[in-house]
Structure formats: structure tokens, C-alpha cells
Amino acid sequence: MKNTFINFILAVSIVFSTNVFAMELETLKEKKYIGENNSGYLVPLVKNKEIINYVESINKKRKNIYLKSAEKLSVSLEIFEKRVAQKIENESKKGYIIENEFGEWVEK
């Protein structure tokens, strides 16, 4: 059980590693151009082609990491996505837009 938790934390850390994209991501969240849904993926909140493409690119990377991590932990993709979404919600800064567990979009 302890190894499962450690592997989960490591997988989530990879998704949120600090780099140029992470800094850009934070800026877009602060400006409320993108939000985090309750499945661990980004959602564009504005109709801007560059932002939509950026979100799609990140979500593809996340899904690949989620799939590998879920398989490694022997859990379903859905369970892993929900765990990541809960972590994202807990760690989101005040003012970020998130979809809560009830499917409502709220400002944290």
C-alpha cells in the first residue's frame, strides 16, 4: 500500500513538474483562460485557438502519464483521474477555476 501511494505521488509530480509550460499554465489559470475539470484535465474557458491547442497538447501528455501510472498502480484510469483531480483541486490557488465533484464550475 505504501509503495502504491509513493508511486501515485511520483506520477502526479511528473504531471506538475516546474518548467516553462508550467509557468505559462499558471498564468493562463490566473487569467481564468483555462480551468481544471473533475477528471484531472484542463478545459479552455475562452474561445482562443492557441489556448485550445495548448490545452489539447497538455491533456494528451497527461492522459499518457495517467494511463501508464494507473496501469503501474493496478487501478482503473477513471480512479486515477479522480485522484489526480482531487489533488489538483486541493492544491489549486485561490482564484483558479475548477470543476468540483458535483460538476459545478467554481472559483476557488
Q: How far apart are CA 107 and CA 96, in angstroms?
A: 6
Q: How far apart are CA 70 and CA 77, in angstroms?
A: 6
pLDDT tens for 22-63 read: 568 999 999 999 999 999 999 999 999 999 999 999 999 999
Q: What is the value of pTM for the model shown?
A: 0.80
Q: 35, 43 in Cβ contact below 8 A?
A: yes
pLDDT tens for 52-79 read: 999 999 999 999 999 999 999 999 999 9
> What integer pLDDT is reported at residue 2 of this predicted model?
58
> What integer pLDDT is reported at residue 23 of this predicted model?
61
User: 55, 7, 5: which is closest to 28 by C-alpha?
Assistant: 55
